[in-house]
Chain A
Amino acid sequence: MDKRIWAVGGGKGGTGKSFVSSGLGLHLASLGHDVMLVDADLGGPNLHTLLGMRNGHPDLGDFLTNRVGSLEEAAVETPYEGLRIVRGSENILFIANLNHYKKLRLLRQVRQLAAQDVILDLGTGSSYNTLDFFLSADPGIVVATPEPTAIENSYLFLKSCIMRVLKLYMDHYKIPDLHQKMLEQIEKNSRSLYSFFKSLIESDRSYGTILYRALRNFRPCLIMNKARDEADAELGRSVVDVARRYLLIDIHFLGAVPYDVRVHTSLRALQPFAKAHPDSAAARAIGSAAEELIYAVEHSRRTPPEIGFPNPR
């Protein structure tokens, strides 16, 4: 069976990325999967705390400074059967500025981990490191909350992902002039992505096809966390609709996780929320998102995305 690598990210801090990562990991482990959580939040790691663990060695920093030979050796058991974790580094100042070589080594080692499911918990922001970890996963999961700031940052994060995908392809095909043109056009307004592709396909159909195919293959997922009412839950579908029309990407909406005040109390008690309140609506929503993800990933591997070109008229 293929290894599944999921990355949980998003533009804004405090949306619940680590909460969702730990919930997904615990649910998969409870289904009998062999799961590895990797705290790739280089600037502020705290995934271990959500699992009721303390920081300590070995951790991700030990792997990156070659104190341990492989990422596998940096993993430790959690109190929950089937779930292991690579804790984030205490040496934040050093690790947050990961160089290109170390990033590639980490990505390679993530793929070599001896676990059926690997979940990367990413940090806030749209740095190249975060974007590359997000794009290396299949699929990446954006966690947003129903607030303007979170939605704005999620769109920004998705836009950055799109630009990064296109830039990687442009670098590969050695067309840097196009990258500058793209940056200039896409900065202008939200509809510019459409105009960029339209003009590109008109001027150079072969490059246009390659880049458009690359864009359509980027299919992230979305979880709307801290939903307080029905409208918040429906917001996810609206975001998917807007992104399809304006960012030209298909997002898979995994559902809304209801707001629960007990998340805070379980965190204070250093208890994983999914274990403390397994029957809560929030824990069940994350569980069903995990199961849908298993299906979605399998499904997306079977069916390629619809490739249609911007209308030539």
Chain B
Amino acid sequence: MIKRIEDWTYYELLNVERTASPEEIREGYQAALVTYAPGSLAAYSLVTDDERRQIVGRIEEACQTLLDPERKQTYDLSLLKRSYYYAPKAPFRRTVGKLEIDEAPSKRGLWQRLRRLFSRPKRMIGPD
């Protein structure tokens, strides 16, 4: 997912996984600082000074938060709350197209239809 700078998560800012160890977070922090440090060649001509300062500020914030276990836990929870909700799909069907719903028989009389479908013709037992 591509986002605005303001929407990058701390993990995206530091280019680390959510399961990253403190050591990996520190390495990510150093690499991100080098990319957006004042006079950085990589940011030259593409990133304005204001944007670069804003990103560096967020990188510092990201490192402090992710290296503090309590703050990291709170931040992870807030990310979970912000994440999109995908409604669970029916497990027995891959897709439910509009056409299928339109053409589906009405719910009225469903049980009678089901009973009729699954009921077996009664067999007469014994000589008659």
Contacts and interface: CB of A to CB of B under 8 A. Distances in A.
* Binding site secondary structure of chain B: loop
A164 to B, nearest CB: 18
Interface stretch (B40-48, B103-111, B116-124): B40-48
B51 interface: yes
A151 B42 CA distance: 7
| Of B8, B34, B35, B46, most A-chain CB atoms within 10 Å | B46
B4 interface: yes
Contacts of A235: 41-42
A194 B31 contact: no
Given A190-B48, A234-B34, A313-B7, A241 B42 contact: yes
Interface in A232-262: 234-235, 237-239, 241-243, 245-248
Nearest to A159: B46
Nearest to B35: A238
A311 B1 CA distance: 7
Contact of A237 (B2, B8, B31, B51): B31
Interface string B32-67: 101100001111111110010000000000000000
A310 B46 contact: no
B44 A151 contact: yes
B51 A242 contact: no
B9 to A, nearest CB: 11
A189 interface: yes
A191 B54 CA distance: 14
| Size class of the B contact interface (CB-based, 8 Å) | 20 to 34
Nearest to A238: B42
Interface string A196-224: 00000000000000000000000000000
* Binding site secondary structure of chain A: helix
Nearest to A198: B4
A313 B5 CA distance: 13
Contacts of B45: 148, 151-152, 155-156
A308 B15 contact: no
Contacts of A248: 2
B2 A309 contact: yes
Nearest to A246: B46
Nearest to A144: B41
A311 B7 contact: yes
A311 B34 CA distance: 27
B5 A245 contact: yes
B81 interface: no
A61 interface: no
Contact of A190 (B3, B4, B7, B46): B46
B59 to A, nearest CB: 12
Nearest to B12: A245
A304 to B, nearest CB: 16
Given A152-B45, A238-B31, A308-B2, 17 more contacts: A190-B51, A194-B4, A235-B41, A237-B31, A237-B35, A238-B34, A238-B42, A241-B42, A242-B35, A242-B43, A242-B47, A245-B5, A245-B8, A246-B47, A309-B1, A311-B1, A311-B7
Interface of A: 146-148, 151-152, 155-156, 189-191, 194, 231, 234-235, 237-239, 241-243, 245-248, 308-311, 313
Interface of B: 1-5, 7-8, 15, 31-32, 34-35, 40-48, 51
6 contacts: A151-B41, A191-B4, A194-B4, A238-B35, A238-B41, A311-B1
